[in-house]
Every structure is written in structure tokens, then in C-alpha cells.
Amino acid sequence: MKFEPTQLTSSEVELQAEVREFLATELPPGSYQRALGMGAGKDVEFSKKLAARGWVGMALPKQYGGHDRTAVDRFIVVEELLSHGAPIGHHWVADRQTGSIINRFGTEAQRERFLPPICRAELAFSIGMSEPDSGSDLASVSTRATQTDGGWLLNGTKVWTSGAHENDWFVVLCRTAPLEDGNKHQGLSQLLVDLSSPGLEINGIPFLDGSPGFNEVVMTDVFVPDELVLGELGMGWAQNTSELAYERGGPDRWLSTFGIIEEFLRLNEGTTLGNAAHDLLGSAVSRYWGLRNMSLTVARMIDRGEAPAVESSMVKEMGTRFEQDVLQKVVNLVDLEPTPESAELFERLVAAAILTGPSFTIRGGTTEILRTVVSKGLGRKATT
């Protein structure tokens, strides 16, 4: 595994400047509720403005409403949105991974049905992977789909399903064939499931501050027609693994607490910072820049048609620990007891990060699972 040093091209720098100018106009400081990275709120109109600029579904084909842009182009747009704390919650999952998975594995009818509204920011998706008794072992899913006339009956429970209470669809990883020979990776499939389907119940799992986000989704004989099977039956694990490369390797895995550092600097503008603050800022900047290059390398690998599952797992493992480390160092540095109701944006962001930060190293795969993925991947490469 090797992360090659890379820089933005002149056209990529121009795109970066264009996005920054757009955000300065659309979201000047004080005009919106700044968020912690991808934990942003849902603003449908803002998402549609991005779509109108061609910044949603960027890497999807033009024939389905996309723009045939590169994964690096999307990286640039996403990095600016996340560092700005923009409200990207409505289109986030569909743009990051669901659209690409449907484009890669879906039928022509599925592409024509789902990709254009995704590119217009009209459809919001959630992820249906994790289950209550599976931990981070995604292959041990117990949700089952049983064949019936014209489709499948889906039974089981998904958990930590972000945004299910307000999104339209989710992609469910489930078992469509009995477990044989102890190989949990076989017999799994992915289904496109309408979150308003009869028999589907959504129960909120609030964060410590009471804010919504995670959900438990219980499915009891939920009917899914045959035309909503995504990809090949029994190939769900391979498809799911490729999806994780999109989910784990982007800037969303190391920018959650970026806004806290930025607001700390704004709050202390014109003052002399001590050695502890200099150490914090120096460490944060150097680690941030290294992670950024790793993440940008993953995007370039995707553009070359590679499947950087191991590399993206490394980015996620290092990135989410970085996010938590930055928070802890800030908390140790400043003398305050932050509350979500504080008049200061800095304190509100710190309070939100303290209450939601434990989820950073869980969502998208725990630290332990990611290290296992990396070690196994390096072991396979060493023997070939």
C-alpha cells in the first residue's frame, strides 16, 4: 500500500476557488447554523442550489443527469462544503455513495429511475448495513429477504441508520440465501427499499444532547419488488465492500472538528497564543495535511478505476482518531464548560463535538474492524 504525494491541477484549483466564492455569497458567517462536518442539518433548498451548479452527482454520467466529473472534482467540492460547515445533510449519502453504486451495479431501469432525481437533489438516501447484534461484523446480518410473488418479503432490524426519519430510501444488505459452509459472505444481496413502505417502523436514537440522527429501522414483511434488487443476487457482500471505499476514504472522515479550530482562531484573533496553543495548531495542521493527501490519493485511485478498500479504511481509521484527538486537545486547552445553548459559536461547536464525538470512530466501521481490514489487505498484497 502506497499513498503517492499529489497536488491539485490548475483546473482543480479553479474549481476550489469557485466553490469558495459560492459559499462566501450563499453562507456568510452568522447566516446559518454551522455544523460539524457531515453531521450537518438538512437544507433541501441549499442542496438544490448545489445541484443547479452541477455539484451533486458530479461523477455520474451525463445521460442520467450527472456531469461526468472526476472523483477528485467531487473531493474538492466536498472538502470546501465540510470545512465551511454547510448544511449538506439532504443529499449527502446519495451523492457520496448510493448514486455511484446504482450506476455501477444497477439495472438500466434503476439508473433511469434514481440517478436523475439524485443529481437534482430530490431524493435522500440512508444506509441499511448495521444491525443490533452484529457489531461491526457486517457479514453477520440476520435481516432476511424471502422470495414471494413478484418480489421479496424483508424481515429484520437495521440500526444506526442516519437520517432514516427524514430520508426517502435506503439500501439494505440482507440474506437472500441460507448460510452454507459457514461462509457468511455468500448469499447476501442488496435491496433498494422505500422508507415509507408498509411494515417499516422507524425509531429514533437521539444523541446525548437529544438531537436526532441515528435510527433503528424495523422491517416486518416489507414487500420489495424484484425490480428493486440492486445488482446480482448473492453478490451483496462484494457490492457492499466497493461501497465502503466511497464511504470511508473522503474528507468527511477528518473534517468533523475542523470548524472548532477555525472558530478558536477567530475567537482569539489579535491575542497572543501560548506554547500549548501553538503545539495544538502545529500538530493539527501537520496531521490534517497528511490525511488530506491520503484522502486525495484515494480519490485519484477511484478515478483510475481502482478499488482502494484498504487505503480508504486506513484514511478512516486515522482520520476519525484525528478528529477526536483535536477535540480533546482543545478541551484541555481552554478553560470553559461549553453548553449547546451558549451564545458563542465556538462553545456550541465544542459542546456538540463532546456529545457526538464518540460516534466518529464507530460510524463507517469501528477502529478495530478497520485495522483488521488493513492488516488482511496488506497480508494479501505481501503474498502476491
Q: Residue 178 belongs to a domain with what CATH number? A: 2.40.110.10
Residue 344 lies in a domain: yes
Asked, for residue 241, whether it belongs to a domain, the answer is no
Number of separate domains in the chain:
3
pLDDT tens for 170-202 read: 999 999 998 877 778 899 999 999 999 999 999
Q: Which residue has the cell 467531487?
A: 74
For residues 195 and 279, membership in a common domain is answered with no
Nearest to 300 by CA among 6, 2, 103: 6
Would you say the pTM of this structure is higher than 0.85? Answer: yes
224, β-bridge pairs: 152
- Say what the pLDDT of residue 233 is: 95
Q: Are residues 104 and 131 in the same domain?
A: no
Q: Are the C-beta atoms of 336 and 347 separated by less than 8 Å?
A: yes
79-138 pLDDT per residue, tens: 999 999 999 999 999 999 999 999 999 999 999 999 999 999 999 999 999 999 876 677
Distance between CA atoms of residues 147 and 197, nearest Å: 17
Its domain, for residue 348, covers 249-382
Q: Is residue 55 part of a domain?
A: yes
In a domain, 240, yes or no: no
Structural element, H or E, at residue 151: strand 151-158
The last residue of a domain, from among 209, 234, 259: 234
274 lies in the same domain as 153: no
Q: According to the model, what pLDDT value does residue 210 have?
A: 78
User: Dihedral of CA 8/14/15/20: which sign?
Assistant: positive
Q: Which amino acid is at 240?
A: N
Residues 258 and 225 in one domain: no
Q: Which residue has the cell 445533510?
A: 89
Judgement on whether residues 135 and 119 belong to the same structural domain of the protein:
no
Assess if residue 5 is contained within a domain: no
Are 34 and 349 in contact by the 8 Å Cβ rule? The answer is yes
In a domain, 253, yes or no: yes
Let me know whether 254 and 377 are in one domain. Answer: yes
- One domain, residues 200 and 148: yes
Integer CA distances (angstroms), 11 to 23, 72, 214, 275, in order: 19, 11, 38, 39
Are the beta carbons of 258 and 38 closer than 8 angstroms?
A: no
Do 145 and 36 fall into the same domain?
A: no
pLDDT reported for residue 380: 67
Task: Kindly state whether residues 38 and 139 are assigned to the same domain.
Answer: no
Both 161 and 260 in one domain: the answer is no
Lookup: cell for 44: 433541501
Among 123, 151, 182, where does a domain finish?
123
Residues of the chain with pLDDT under 70: 1, 135-136, 380-384
Q: What is the pLDDT of residue 282?
A: 94
Residues 374 and 264 in one domain: yes
What is the model's pLDDT at position 74? 95
| Same domain, yes or no: 227 and 265 | no
Quickly list H helices, the chain.
10-26, 44-52, 71-84, 92-93, 99-105, 108-119, 236-248, 258-267, 275-303, 309-333, 345-356, 367-382
From 91, 123, 155, give the residue that closes a domain: 123
Residue 107 per-residue DSSP state: -
